[in-house]
Structure 1
């Protein structure tokens, strides 16, 4: 399934969108659009397998944030609040107004902020390996946890991680402080939409106690653990796609007969 690739500019910042859907469903048909947002240093490639699985049944858009993937660096620090706004505005510029937002790692911060800022268009949120755990908000601790995760990720994901980090290093350095300082647990408590927190059971970055805490902080939160590392959405793409689909269906109001 070949994705449609577009680059849009929001307030002068480039955002790249990779759209894929079942045949004939790239346009609006009343169903939601699943939006996939990568973590710090990464790109849409961290959702490649899970987007293919989701796109067999859903309209999907995978995002490259400014300065990541092959996009030029923004030249300045972008706050999580600004990134959350950019994602929704970029996707809406292509006509999508009913969104299921899926974010992994730093992307989980971005999507929960998107939901807080745009409640009328975000119907639900999926946070995969949410960061950053209270008590571990230092660069040294995060570097240690990332190194440990590299030992349990597969070769393909480690290759994606290394090459994406090298491409995005300028913006990566800008985004470290906003990511480290952002209090995910405070924002998720203000989100009225249903929130699903997904964690890999071998994830040393988003640890179980922390992930459960994030889900419990949401007014309508659910916690699910799958077998796998920090990028569990790529370790188990079909299982992850079924989980997202079931979560969305469970929280979709049924039409009156």
Structure 2
């Protein structure tokens, strides 16, 4: 992949906002809970990585720099010359890389439930997903919920029916996207970010734990850190709070 636009959806009008989704998700499955709220204020472009949505699966391992360039190429192809980027989970690494590689285009950066690298806990979670992916969707869904939901969200228990639904909802390209997560290390890039940055930590996150967000905020010059009371599935557990934080930060001062 070299600067090739990805399949995308576009909504709304106003200043440009590019969305970078998480591994195993997609433009629709990740961003839908807050998409309409964002589109009231921005021209929102939400691409799908290879293997998500209508984007064909990759035939070679995904590379972070190429994916970041393709994300930017998608925004440009959609008519955005300059834009903010909001990234979620793996998308925080993609968005940060894009901001460093394309500082002339990226005006603001919002990093949600982010990561800096694959530590031993995250690496083990990825290996478990990869082992479960081609099997029964019920254990796959149970494990996905264990990683994505906060303890409060799991308080009433999870049925096998719900677990199967979750297991079947992962993008076909999840294995390649999880593999990319296992190789991510953006720590050397953080001091090179020049765009104003908001880091949104998910305080009850078992997957990309809050220490990652603290490291992002400490490593990126002048970054602002805000913690939301949610697990990794922040769009469902704290959607209104997430949307409010983004709408407060993303518009540039008049």
TM-score (norm 1): 0.79
* 1:227-253 deviations in Å (ceiling 9; x for gaps): 21112134332322221121123xx25
Q: How far 1:56 sits from its partner (Å)?
A: 2.0
Query: Is the CA contact (8 Å cut-off) linking 1:54 and 1:60 kept in structure 2?
Result: yes
Matched, 1:235 2:237: yes
Q: How does 1:187-226 map to 2 (within 5 A)?
A: 187-226=189-228
Counterpart residue number, 1:104: 88
Counterpart residue number, 1:61: 45
Structure holding more strand per residue? 1
Distance 1:205 1:86, change over 3 A: same
1:47 to 13, 24, 31: 31
Distance 1:20 1:158, change over 3 A: farther
Q: How far 1:133 sits from its partner (Å)?
A: 4.8
Gaps of 5+ in 2: 130-142
TM-score (norm 2): 0.80
Counterpart residue number, 1:181: 183
Distance between the aligned counterparts of 1:193 and 1:151, measured in 2? 31
Counterpart residue number, 1:3: none
Query: Is the CA contact (8 Å cut-off) linking 1:105 and 1:130 kept in structure 2?
Result: yes
**How many residues in Structure 1 have an aligned counterpart in Structure 2?**
231
Matched, 1:127 2:111: yes
Distance between the aligned counterparts of 1:191 and 1:40, measured in 2? 23
Distance between the aligned counterparts of 1:129 and 1:228, measured in 2? 10
Query: Is the CA contact (8 Å cut-off) linking 1:83 and 1:110 kept in structure 2?
Result: yes
Q: How far 1:132 sits from its partner (Å)?
A: 4.7
Counterpart residue number, 2:135: none
Matched, 1:35 2:18: yes
2:146 to 142, 145, 148: 148
Counterpart residue number, 1:17: 8
SS at match of 1:211: helix
Query: Is the CA contact (8 Å cut-off) linking 1:132 and 1:206 kept in structure 2?
Result: no
SS at match of 2:120: coil
* 1:84-131 deviations in Å (ceiling 9; x for gaps): 000000110121112111111111111111111111110011111112
Distance between the aligned counterparts of 1:160 and 1:125, measured in 2? 32
